[in-house]
Structure 1
Amino acid sequence: MTTSMLWRAGRRLLLIAGLPAVLITAWWLATANSTNFYWPPLRTIVEVFGPTWLEGKLTSDVLPSLARLGVGYLAALALGIGIGVAIGSSTTLRATVEPVLEFFRAIPPPVLVPILILFAGIGDGMKVLVIVSGAIWPILLNTVEGVRSIDEVLRDTAACYRFRTRTRLTTLILRGASPQIMTGARQALSIAIILMVISEMFAASNGLGFTIIQFQRSFALPQMWSGIILLGLIGVALSLLFRLVETRVLAWYFGQRDTQQSGA
């Protein structure tokens, strides 16, 4: 690795870590001598973080939340892409279902929680359905637009060569729409994390959302703040994991874009 590459890598790392470091330092200094019950020192929050989450609640609350998040997000991904491809491939189907999609998309998912409790009970199924009900929309709508934006010349070429349905689906439709699908999937991930917490605040007995609310109700404020920080860390970790997957899935797209930019 050359000196210039090392310099660019170091500069990029500084840009990424610089603002979080400044914010954490500011929080630490601002609360160092805090006597406010609702705004405890960051030092106290850090001290209770390990005993609170890593010693007892990792398996009883954190892992169940992540499992529900994973199932709900993957279900939303599968349904969103499947339905989106079908709608985007048919002008008639799109015109037929568009009013219904707009109606359901306008309903905030938390409003559906009492209804889902009536039909799905208070178990994990309800919580997964809440995640799916909100996370599916960015994926579905971006998939529809991605499929509709595929070049007509490529469609005609595939028809002339008589590609099989499966080949057309994998090599033309999904590949051509993949940049917008990944955009919707990134948006859906943030929504899924939010809905995971909201779903666990209703009729739950475990999970991050449930535990944070219990800490708040019992006035264990340092533990409550540690849970909020844990949620942020989970969000950052999942975002980094998503970026790795995105880089691998869209390697052809990024390469094509870089080639066009260098040629220009």
Structure 2
Amino acid sequence: MSTLKRAGYFLGLPLILLAAWIGYTSVQTNFFIPEPAVLADRFFHIWFSERLMSDVLPSIGRLLAGLGLSIVAGVTIGVIIGYVRWIRWLFEPLFEFIRAVPSTILIPVLLLLIGINDAMKITLIVCSCIWPILLNTVAGVTSIDEVLQNTAKVIGLKKLDRMRYLVLPAASPQIMAGIRQSLAVALILMVVSEMFASTDGIGHWTINFQNRVAIPEMWSGILLLGIIGVVLSVVFHWIQKRILAWYEGLKENEND
């Protein structure tokens, strides 16, 4: 598929919705649905002039920090658990229990233990995002073909080499699937933590605008969060294509 055609598919629906929005606001006035020009003005004035350094960048920083720690911890622990059978049997029931606990319920606990600061918000993101990555990593490691593992042992590959050249590459498709799931979770928890336990950030000001019935300003915060989500998704797919280039090639060959 050509790049132009892909761009058309990517932008087609947003452009249709934008046209419908412009058409609706041009014939009818609704207090809760601002005109696109008004929203655009508030969007750039608030988030790229007034609050870029004090709110937008700190929010993105907390999001990336929580996601990065989740990836490192989730992959590391997941590989160990998946590779060592007795550890998997020992911890699997505990992990399933902890994963079932909603992360938002941890906010009061983390507020008491850590306080209202960046560490609390990052910890909340990690407490939720780590599970999709960890469990997908375990599934990826345990699903490696035993013939491949035995072959690696027979030819004399050391444990570190087996981990580098066999385990991690073979598990990488499922690891990336776990990271993809965690992207949306990280964004949601960044917003939730800032709404209920913060004095700054995109989530804090979005709920603040809603409480003040500043409708265009509130929608501008929602728009910014949507754009951040899209950017994260695009960047992730770009990275995934390069990390899993061999895997994508195998899938294309199978389809042919």
Whether TM exceeds 0.5 here: the answer is yes
Task: Kindly provide the amino acid, as one letter, of the partner of residue 156 in structure 2.
Answer: R
Identity among equivalent pairs (%): 46
Aligned position for 1:113: 107
3-state SS in 2 of match to 1:103: helix
Alpha-carbon separation, structure 2, partners of 1:239 and 1:21: 19
Q: 87-96 or 27-36, which moves further after superposition? A: 27-36
Matched, 1:162 2:153: no
Cα gap change, 1:249/1:222 in structure 2, threshold over 3 Å: closer, same or farther? same
Matched, 1:146 2:135: no
Aligned position for 1:220: 214
Aligned position for 2:193: 199
Report Cα offsets for 1:29-74 as digits up to 9, x if no partner. 2233443322222332122111111111111100000100111000
Q: 1:174 aligns with which of 160, 168, 174?
A: 168
Task: Kindly provide the amino acid, as one letter, of the partner of residue 12 in structure 1.
Answer: R
Residues 62, 208 of structure 1: 8 Å contact kept: yes
Residues 32, 43 of structure 1: 8 Å contact kept: no
Report Cα offsets for 1:5-48 as digits up to 9, x if no partner. 7xx33322222211111112112222334433222223321221
3-state SS in 1 of match to 2:26: coil
Alpha-carbon separation, structure 1, partners of 2:184 and 2:110: 21
Alpha-carbon separation, structure 2, partners of 1:165 and 1:120: 39
3-state SS in 2 of match to 1:178: helix
Task: Kindly provide the amino acid, as one letter, of the partner of residue 55 in structure 2.
Answer: D
Aligned position for 2:238: 244
Matched, 1:26 2:20: yes
Cα gap change, 1:34/1:222 in structure 2, threshold over 3 Å: closer, same or farther? farther
Q: 1:256 aligns with which of 245, 250, 253?
A: 250
Q: 184-193 or 38-47, which moves further after superposition? A: 38-47
Task: Kindly provide the amino acid, as one letter, of the partner of residue 119 in structure 2.
Answer: G
Alpha-carbon separation, structure 2, partners of 1:54 and 1:191: 25
Residues 81, 143 of structure 1: 8 Å contact kept: yes
3-state SS in 2 of match to 1:201: helix
Tell me how far 1:94 sits from its aligned partner: 1.5
Report Cα offsets for 1:62-90 as digits up to 9, x if no partner. 00001001110000001110111111112
Alpha-carbon separation, structure 1, partners of 2:129 and 2:42: 32
Structure 1 runs not aligned, ≥5 long? none
3-state SS in 2 of match to 1:35: coil
3-state SS in 1 of match to 2:68: helix
Tell me how far 1:168 sits from its aligned partner: 1.1
Tell me how far 1:257 sits from its aligned partner: 2.0
Q: 40-49 or 168-177, which moves further after superposition? A: 40-49
Alpha-carbon separation, structure 2, partners of 1:227 and 1:34: 23
Residues 87, 94 of structure 1: 8 Å contact kept: yes
3-state SS in 2 of match to 1:219: coil
Alpha-carbon separation, structure 2, partners of 1:173 and 1:247: 19
Alpha-carbon separation, structure 2, partners of 1:254 and 1:150: 18
Alpha-carbon separation, structure 1, partners of 2:27 and 2:103: 41
Residues 32, 42 of structure 1: 8 Å contact kept: no
Matched, 1:102 2:96: yes
Aligned position for 2:65: 71
Q: 157-166 or 222-231, which moves further after superposition? A: 157-166
Structure 2 runs not aligned, ≥5 long? none
Say how many residue pairs are matched.
256
Matched, 1:209 2:203: yes
Task: Kindly provide the amino acid, as one letter, of the partner of residue 211 in structure 2.
Answer: R
Report Cα offsets for 1:167-200 as digits up to 9, x if no partner. 1111111110000000110110111011110111
3-state SS in 1 of match to 2:32: coil
3-state SS in 1 of match to 2:195: coil
Alpha-carbon separation, structure 2, partners of 1:214 and 1:181: 37
